Chain A
Amino acid sequence: MKRSLLALLAVAACGAVAAGCGDDDDGGSGSGSGDPLTIYSGRNEKLVGDLMKQFERETGVKVQVRYGESAELAATLAEEGDSARADVFFAQDAGALGAVAEAGLLAPVPASAEKVDARFRTANWVGTSGRARVVAYSTERLKPSQLPDSILDFCDDRWKGKIGFPPPNASFQAFISAMRLGLGDARTREWLECMEDLDPELLENNIQTEEAIADGEIDVGFVNHYYLPELKAENPDFPVGNHFLKAGDPGSLVNVAGAGILKTTDQAEDAEKFVDFLLSESGQRYFSEKTFEYPLVDGIPAPAETRPLEDVHGPEIDLGALGEKLPSTLKLLQDVGLTS
């Protein structure tokens, strides 16, 4: 017993030595200038880690980043309330930003936000990169010419048992909210009921949907455009393609990832520098080249293998309005039987 206990403690101590150097550079007291800027990032470290380093190099501001899921970080910020540890919230989707803004935790955006089209920002957060809804299809079983150019035309028996999408996913829900704003509730419900009749494969998220296509479970899936380049980076032979729908179609909504500054920050200046940097030429180029997303500032080329942003824009909708629609959209998805 004693010896085993000692062994266990020795294991822990070894760990302490190995990890020790990592945790001591900041006491985390969270006050006074000269502290690193604290960012809560709902975006994956593999996607934006280099961007953070680039920001440190270009501005000399040190950052420390807590990575997590956007929704969970939003809930954490809400629980922290006035003792928030973050200076900036950098989120994967507009919904998470909207929730934190609605809780009254975000300060007004800096002036640089005006470079971004008004439909991609609100008073308290600004979109920093765009993602388009697309139809992912199997390049083994379908040719692009066989695909309709409106999402509404997928309501056809030809697609029975061949469609998949992820109802629990935030981007999918935003797309349904946008369809309701564009076409009205009755037509949206009709389309959803038609989808339900086609016996769709209901998935958890975009990656599962892409993989279900590759594995032959389904032929087409409704997803965001940038997952495919990620999956192709892992496996160049991944047998899936992106099909962009026609401009103005409810199926080609452009959603954003974005950032907001916490009201409670004591480093407002550095926080604004960070948002400015995301909207600067080097920040916007990073999104276009490294994460395959649409830059939201004019003059920066869109990523390869995508349509220009002007041609994929969905219905003319204010992204801030999608948040309010969300509860009733979820209810609708439940009523139709697409979520539980």
Chain B
Amino acid sequence: MKFVAVAATLVAAAAVLPLAYLLVRAAGADADAWDVVLDARTLELVGRTALLVALVTAGATVVGVGLAWLVERTDMPGRRIFSVAAALPLVIPSYVSALALLAAVGPGGLFGGGTWIFGLPGATLALVMATYPYVFLLCAAALRRMDPALEEAARTLGRSRAAVFRQVTLPVLRPSIGGGAVLVALYSLSDFGVVSLMRYDALTRAVFNQYRSLFDRTPAALLGLVLVLLTALVLVVEARSRGAGRVSRSAAGADRPAALVPLGRWRLPATLMAGGAVAFALLVPVGVLLGWSLRDAADHPELGELLGWAGSSLLGSGLAAVVAMAAALPVAILAARRPGRWTSFLERATYASNALPGIVIALSLVFFATRVLDSVYQTLALLVFAYVVRFLPQALAGAHSALVRVDPDLERAARGLGASPAGVLRRVTAPLMAPGLLAGATLVFLSTMKELPVTLLLRPIGFDTLATEVWTATGVSAYGTAAIPALTLIVLSAPVVWTLQVRPRGEPRAQPR
């Protein structure tokens, strides 16, 4: 456990680097800089940001939990296709889905539409589309791992299906819903692309305005700290909503897939609703991208170039997923197995950077790398490190929600039977956590595939990814040219989601023996 504690502390220290940077920059604040922040307007921005975050979190939770339950627990037709398709909107850069949404239902859009979309409605809609997969992936993993006997017992005891869902399924899902909802909230706090395209004034727009107009890093840092405070608030709300009960299995449990709930006459409406949600989040952007790519003026990249960008994207995202998973494990184990003030502080600390706009994370690592370890600056190693710092909470949400369901008695029994702590981790804990860990790794992989601000500033020169190419082309309004790398992002991510999400369902489950 000592080793785990040391590793967890190191991981947390890395994750708070951007926060340390903000404090360094904020320390130099003069009266003018404070004026920018201590303004009635900042309070208004905080209010507008909080409203957006609350709406997006609520929306994404409903869509994500609903889809996960339909896909994992019912006889809805096309469940396997849904389980991949419903996760894919996560790889569409949110500014691309916002652009597509505008092209579809904005003023002058394909399906009519109008100016209603600007402001809160459009920002909420685009962000729900972009973020519900966080909740979906984590809840689907939890449902797959859940002991079907719990629901069966409740049914046998005479509870209706609705009551079982409310009294058994939802409480078991709670850690996954909470973890997913936090990711959704933090994403909405940090996003700049959607709020700027949808013309909704949120805090990140103010942070960007400070950098873009004034080239002044101090007021931007102070506003960044306001975002960190909001992050803390989100985490406190999530912690408060955690019940006292435990959700781990107390016995080995039945190791078989749960019986599917027949939807009966609800089958058609449920399928239509799920199909509608996925169509909106995935097919609208894909359709608009295809339309753009077919325009006459579209200038398409050569296959060789495209393969190079795809290779860079896969390399960076694959490494980020593996490293983030390894980094999340000790933090999750410590927080779940040695609960206490210090360990829960460590766990929360790793979330500190997640609500910060990518530009802040990138600048913080420029600051530390050039001062402390100049040789890694602008190398792939630092880029992957930056991805991990930015997306660690996503790996952690997966690991944590999986770990709380693993019964500590199993680990103790294995220890009692003579296994070493490392052996227990390898042969008992890790296999039982596998779906959650993989869900976390999938989240990190997909988020990194579309990552832009950190990639632009920290990549080795010439390390062009699909996301940077989409940015380059949209920068000159060459949407037809942007469509090809954007579609490639989606196409490449599909088999990864398939491998990590769908295939494990069919495999025999790892058993502690």
Contact = CB atoms under 8 A, between A and B. Distances in A.
Interface stretch (A50-58, A59-67, A253-261): A59-67
A234 B315 contact: no
Interface string A63-89: 011111101111110111101010000
Nearest to A96: B215
A234 B197 CA distance: 20
B107 A216 contact: yes
B475 interface: yes
A251 B109 CA distance: 31
A74 B359 CA distance: 12
A18 B313 CA distance: 10
Nearest to B114: A217
A151 to B, nearest CB: 21
A19 B295 contact: no
Contacts of B63: none
A38 B479 contact: no
A330 to B, nearest CB: 6
B14 interface: no
User: How big is the B interface, by class?
Assistant: 35 or more
Contacts of A227: 477
Q: Is the interface of B mostly helix, strand, loop or mixed?
A: helix
A125 to B, nearest CB: 14
A16 to B, nearest CB: 5
A74 B215 contact: yes
Contacts of B430: 1
Contact of B500 (A4, A38, A217): A4
A1 B316 CA distance: 21
A219 B317 CA distance: 44
Q: Is the interface of A mostly helix, strand, loop or mixed?
A: helix
A308 interface: no
Interface stretch (A41-49, A188-196, A274-282): A41-49
Contacts of B319: 12
B441 interface: yes
A7 B499 contact: yes
Contacts of B280: none
Nearest to A7: B499
Interface stretch (A107-115, A116-124, A202-210, A298-306): A202-210
A170 B456 CA distance: 21
A8 B379 contact: no
Contacts of A45: 472
B463 interface: yes
Nearest to A64: B461
Contacts of A66: 461
Interface string B463-477: 110001000110111
A72 B108 contact: no
Interface in B430-479: 430-431, 434, 437-438, 441, 445, 453, 456-457, 460-464, 468, 472-473, 475-479
A9 interface: yes
B41 A71 contact: no
A173 interface: yes
B374 A83 contact: yes
A340 interface: yes
A118 to B, nearest CB: 24
Nearest to A330: B213
Interface string A1-23: 10011011101111111111011
B311 A9 contact: no
A229 to B, nearest CB: 11
Given A204-B199, A215-B108, A234-B480, A14 B311 contact: yes
A227 B477 CA distance: 9
11 contacts: A18-B308, A19-B308, A67-B456, A81-B370, A85-B378, A168-B212, A170-B212, A173-B213, A214-B108, A215-B106, A233-B297
Interface of A: 1, 4-5, 7-9, 11-20, 22-23, 25-26, 28, 38, 44-47, 64-69, 71-76, 78-81, 83, 85, 95-96, 99, 168, 170, 173, 202-204, 207-208, 211-212, 214-217, 227, 230-231, 233-236, 326-327, 330, 334, 339-340
